[in-house]
Amino acid sequence: MRHTGIAAARLLVASLFALPALFAVLPSAAQDATGASEPLSIVALGDSLMAGYDLPSAAAFPNVLERRLKEEGYENVTIVNAGVSGDTASGGLARLDWSVPDETDGVILELGANDMLRGLDPQITYAALDEAIARLQERDIPVLLAGMLAARNMGADYVEAFDAIYPRLAEEHDLVYYPFFLEGALTNPALMLDDGIHPNAAGVEVMVDNMLPTIIRFIERLRAQS
């Protein structure tokens, strides 16, 4: 019996010494499934494509994205909808400071579709987006740039000039870049509203699924920089 008692005591002592190591590998209650303890606030700055034109708020891109991120285990990431229908790149620039508060950790920048639809000079669009990105970077707010493509009926010269805006900005500012925000939806009438310009709820789901790997890469960059 005495030897049994000594063995039990030794086992208890060994277990006590092992407890700190055990707790070291367990995630804290504040951590999400990615192991990150600090919450992230990402502002989705854009036009009607981001705002969720003619859709319930729950079906707007930022809300669907936040839901999908939670499904992927990113519990501590909030996506703020800062989309305004009708906004051009210059309009987004004009409201940049109040649309993106100082506590913002990152911005998804989606602007320029209305510039193209109105036939604005691509250089104006480029200049507005360039200044917006520069001002955000001056505030140490990283940017994910969501690109746009010109409608092919705008003419070859316009298409060439407009389509070049986004890869150029991404390279010049070293941005995480997604080439075409409407990828997967625009060419499928079943995923678009009757106007042929805006995605329906099913279209938004497809857009989020297609863009999700790029957004997760952006989030991981934010985590690494924090």
Q: Which two tokens stand for residue 141?
A: 């707010």
Q: Which DSSP string corresponds to 82-109?
A: EE-TT--HHHHHHTHHHHS-TT--EEEE
Cα–Cα distance, 76 to 222 (Å, whole number): 13
Cα–Cα distance, 139 to 133 (Å, whole number): 10
Which of 47, 87, 163, 198 is flagged as catalytic? 198
- The pLDDT score that the predictor gives to residue 226 is 77
* Mean of all residue pLDDT scores within the chain: 88
- 140-192 per-position pLDDT tens digit: 999 999 999 999 999 999 999 999 999 999 999 999 999 999 999 999 999 99
Cα–Cα distance, 186 to 191 (Å, whole number): 7
- The pLDDT score that the predictor gives to residue 162 is 98
- 59-118 per-position pLDDT tens digit: 999 999 999 999 999 999 999 999 999 999 999 999 999 999 999 999 999 999 999 999
**Does residue 35 carry a pLDDT above 80?**
no
- The pLDDT score that the predictor gives to residue 20 is 38
Task: Domain ranges for the chain, please list them.
Answer: 32-225
Which of 3, 157, 195, 226 is flagged as catalytic? 195
Distances (CA, A) of 57 to 38, 64, 68, 107, 214: 26, 9, 15, 20, 23
Concerning whether 97 is annotated as a catalytic residue, the answer is no
Q: Which helix (H) or strand (E) holds 117?
A: helix 113-117
Q: Residues of the chain with pLDDT > 70: what percent?
A: 84
Which of 48, 87, 105, 115 is flagged as catalytic? 48
Concerning whether 198 is annotated as a catalytic residue, the answer is yes
The CATH-assigned architecture of domain 32-225 is 3-Layer(aba) Sandwich (3.40)
